């Protein structure tokens, strides 16, 4: 896991205080950090290169709760859906209040439908990630906190 801390203010000042990103593509992770940094909307990002790594982190008692998880679907080993199944079946309560957003290249409408079947998943973003997406995720998070409807 790579933690990127942005020190331009106290965490609470950010619309998305802490965000986890689960994606196997190395260059993409580097790019996400730059894109997210430019938006100034995210306080801290935790980057995981595999779903197994992310799951192990969240299962540990020392895990810090996150506000948003950006989750890729197609990854070597455990897929994004495997991760969601594990999280759901193990009732990882750390996720209470966390919003999961799928971030994927998948063009398969079945993937989108499947993503929508998980209560935890609130939005579905097609790659490439753009700065505008972070604003959108921040609105989704806001909507969830206020009990308002979300895209998924």
Which parts of this chain interact with other proteins (CB under 8 A)? 24-28, 30-31, 34-35, 49-50, 74-77, 105-108, 127-129
Tell me the closest approach of the beta carbon of residue 128 to other proteins, in angstroms: 4
Tell me the closest approach of the beta carbon of residue 127 to other proteins, in angstroms: 5
Crossing angle (nearest 10°) for helices 26-39 and 131-145: 70
DSSP state letters, 56-104:
HHHHSTTPPP-SEEEE-S--SSS-HHHHHHHHHHTT-GGGTT-EEEEEE
Tell me the closest approach of the beta carbon of residue 69 to other proteins, in angstroms: 18
* Residue closer to other proteins (CB basis): 97 or 128: 128
* Residue closer to other proteins (CB basis): 103 or 144: 103
C-alpha dist (Å) from residue 1 to 20, 53, 126: 10, 7, 23
* Residue closer to other proteins (CB basis): 50 or 150: 50
* Residue closer to other proteins (CB basis): 25 or 63: 25
**Structure token pair of residue 123:** 């939005």
**Structure token pair of residue 74:** 């197609």
CA atoms within 13 A on the CB side of 73: 21
* Residue closer to other proteins (CB basis): 41 or 98: 41
Backbone angles phi, psi at 68, to 5 degrees: -140, 140
């Amino acid at each position: 896991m790579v933690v990127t801390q942005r020190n331009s203010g106290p965490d609470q000042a950010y619309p998305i205080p802490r965000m986890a990103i689960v994606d196997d593509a190395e260059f993409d992770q580097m790019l996400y950090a730059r894109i997210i940094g430019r938006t100034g909307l995210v306080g801290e990002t935790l980057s995981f290169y595999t779903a197994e790594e992310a799951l192990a982190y969240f299962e540990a008692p020392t895990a810090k709760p996150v506000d948003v998880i950006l989750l890729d679907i197609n990854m070597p080993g455990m897929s994004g859906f495997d991760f969601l199944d594990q999280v759901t079946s193990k009732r990882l309560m750390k996720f209470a209040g966390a919003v999961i957003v799928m971030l994927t290249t998948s063009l398969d409408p079945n993937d989108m439908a499947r993503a929508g079947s998980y209560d935890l998943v609130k939005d579905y973003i097609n790659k490439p990630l753009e700065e505008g997406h972070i604003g959108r995720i921040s609105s989704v998070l806001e909507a969830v906190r206020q009990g308002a409807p979300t895209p998924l």
